[in-house]
Structure formats: structure tokens, C-alpha cells
Chains A and B, each alone.
Chain A
Amino acid sequence: MLVEGIKSRPVYRGLTIQPRARRHIFALEGEGAHALLDRKTELDETARSRSEILYLGRGSQGKGHDEALRKLGADMFFTAPTIATLLFRLKGTLATAHMGTRLYIAGTEGFIGQAMIVALDNGMDHASIITEHRGSLARRVQCVHCKGITEDVTHSPFACSHCSLPLLVRDHYSRRLGAFQGVNVDAEEPGSAPDPEELFL
């Protein structure tokens, strides 16, 4: 389970298919594939004919779901090699989307955050986007000092991948950045950073 009680962190309520939508777009990363596969009975023929699935195989349990997803018989199925390429494709889809389009995002929190940014940039209201967290608890973290983002952070403190400062991962999340906040842990006494702990596996 994710850490509870972080006020700024979005709540991922789980994928529920909205039967009246005119178009369903599923952005699935790694184990996020299961979020849809577990609900395939909810996808009737009408819904399937209005569905577009974008999938990225990733993580130890998140690869190899291509066939199962393809067999759902969606109107369109696309596999991406990386998060960046999936997001690029998602941008294209949303740029021409119509009223009545529903976006579903499932996967790690970092992926959900990035896909959410694409949706927000295309004028979708964050409250209308349906999300489910699946897979690793790794965090996407922005260094508050150099503003660089480090992906897949499992330890705190960790070294910023841009400016190398040892960063404490705070329980404060920005939806706009799709990232947690990282703050220099030993600023008051440089060199005194505690040993990293594996907190977000």
C-alpha cells in the first residue's frame, strides 16, 4: 500500500469503466495492464469498439501482457517501448479527442503523474481522470534546488541525478510536476546525511 495521509498526494481510486463514454483511452504501464485485464468482463462489445489501449511493458511483473491486452479486441492497440514514446502517442490521441472521451491511467505513481500532466495540458480536469496504482512504489522526485527530476527513486535519502545533492524525499506531491519534493538532507551540516533507507520498493 502507498503511505496514507499525504494531503497533497492524489488518491488513485481504481479503474472503473464508464459505460456511457464515447471513447475510452487506456494508458497502461507495466503491471497497470492487470488493472484493465482484471476488469475485462466490464468491457462489453460497445465499450471495446470505442477503446484505445496504449501499453508499455515494464518492470519484472509488467512485461509480456501484450497478447492478453490485444485479445481484448479494442478498436486500437498500441505498444510503446518507453514512457516517453507512450506519452508522445497519448498527446497525439488527446489532441484530437472529442467531448465524452474518458482517460484511464494505470501503473506506477511516476507514470500516472506524467500521463496526468499530458492530460492536464490538453485541458482535461484532473478529477475526471480515472487512475489505479499498480506495481512498484518507486517515486518520481523533483529536486527543489536544481529542479531536476529523478525517476524511480526507491531510497531516501538519495543523490539527485542532476546536481548530486543528497535529497530527503518529502511526503509532498505536486500534480502539476507529477513528482514528490526532494530537499537537501544535510544542508545544515554538509556531510552528515544519514544512510539511505529503502522506503519505496
Chain B
Amino acid sequence: MNALPATEHAPKEFVLEVEALTVSFDGFKAVDDLSFYVDENEIRVIIGPNGAGKTTVLDLICGRTKASHGSIRFRDRELTRMKEHEIVHAGVGRKFQNPTIYEELTVFENLELSIPRGRTVFGALGFRRDQAVLDRIEEIAEFVFLKDHLKTPSAILSHGQKQWLEIGMLLIQDPSLMMLDEPVAGMSVGERVKTAELLNNIIKDRSVIVIEHDMKFVEDIAHRVTVLHQGKVLSEGSMEHVKNDPKVVEVYLGH
């Protein structure tokens, strides 16, 4: 349905509009005049060779890196001028490339800290672990296959489980845009299948941007694919379209 090349539609509401985005580090343009648009309920996968600027794009959207030029509009809010935690409050969640979880704490506590309640200093001091909290944690833990591990210190989870936990930590915030940097890295084949299923379930009410190298997985989940090369969009469209694009073939074979 959605798997059509990005074409000139009538003006419509996108969840995310990235326009003319540029960032340079000491003169090197990691992202160069980049524009792309993400739809409601879309899974967009960004692929590209190493150094193409994929992670930098996510860094720019979530405010970790400041753009030199260009704009990032998310539901009519300009993200380039907001602080990181404000961007999260606006509804953007981000998973890091290496599973980034609180290893000293249990799965339960990891999820609890991610609940969007008591986010101020005094809010956190007064936060109570009530029934609503328990129910929400249980719901999300079940979703990311960790319900039987709630009391497990997260340090001893398998690599794949850590990835799921971090996805769960995003989900519990109920973001309308989720950005996942290599969510299946280090996962077994079985875990990858489950993760693809998981992602297809969570887009019911949100959009997802995924960076991934595993082409099989990309084919399983992508509605549209954006190929980045040297900070620019090389090609965009369905997986089928992108795979047969001579420019893409050249870049990948050239490496």
C-alpha cells in the first residue's frame, strides 16, 4: 500500500519534514542539504554505506547534534531549536546503536524510569509506584517479550533482550515517532523475526525510522527506504525500486 516511490502528492500532513538539513564538522559535511518526509504510520528505513551520515541524521532529529542549516519539522514544531528533553516531550523517541540500558537496575526499574511521569526533580521525588505504573510496565514487558524477566538485573540479559528492553523503554513513553538505530544488530535469526513482528505491531499508532544493515530484515519491515550516501539522498522509494537503482548498486558494489 505504502510501498510506492515517493511521488509528488497533493500537499499533505507529514509527521516529520526534514528540509535542506546540513551539518558540518570542521568543514566536513556529514549531512548535506538533506530532505525527506515521513508519513503517519510509516516504517522508513535508512540504509547506506558506512559514513553516509545515517546516525548523524538521527542525532540531528533528536537534538544531540545541532544543525548548521535547514529545518526539521515534527507535527508543526521546529525541532532544531528545542532541547533534547523537550524533543522527547514532543513525542520523539530514540534508540541508540548499542543497547543503552541501565545495567545496574532491573528490567522493571529500567521500564519504570522511562515512564513519562514525574520527569521533573520534585516530580521524581514524589513519584509513587502505583497500580497504573505496574500495569503499564507489565503491558510493555509482555510486548517486548520480557515479562518473565522483570526482576532480572538488566546487565545479565542477552544482547537481543537488551535491544528489546530499550525498544520497550521507548514504547512506554508512547512516542509518535520512534527512531531505532540498528535494532537487530547482534540478534539471532529467531530474534530478528520476532523483532520484525514487534515493529509491525507498534506502528499502529506511530511512525518509525529505522537504520539497518541487514537487508533481509529491511525487506521484511520497510514501507519505504531512503538510501544515504555522503550525507545526501541517493535514492528513495520501495525496497524493490531502491535495489534496482543503478546509482545504489554502484555505491554498494563500489565499496
- A and B interact physically: no
Interface residues of A (CB under 8 A from B): none
Interface residues of B (CB under 8 A from A): none
